[in-house]
Structure 1
């Protein structure tokens, strides 16, 4: 139980690192229907939005 705060801090550090990488690559943050944050590829759209056969 004492290591839980350390785990949260490490997880937050990785999330910030990978968020910066995705945004540098041109991905844009988008909130989906369930409220989760997703990253949309450059020039693309999330599956299920318009075309049912989207990647």
Structure 2
């Protein structure tokens, strides 16, 4: 994210996927026009059934 131009001022590149990273990923997706449906926290598609 940092290399892509998105700052992570609170925690930096700490290796965990927290709220700061989620917001940076959402901003990257918005900027790039990504329209996928993956849940950033779970890795599952939104609306996918769990069995």
TM-score (norm 1): 0.35
Structure of greater Rg: 1
Structure with the higher fraction of residues in helix conformation: 1
* Larger proportion of strand: 1
Q: Which has the higher contact order (CA 8 A, sep 6+)?
A: 2
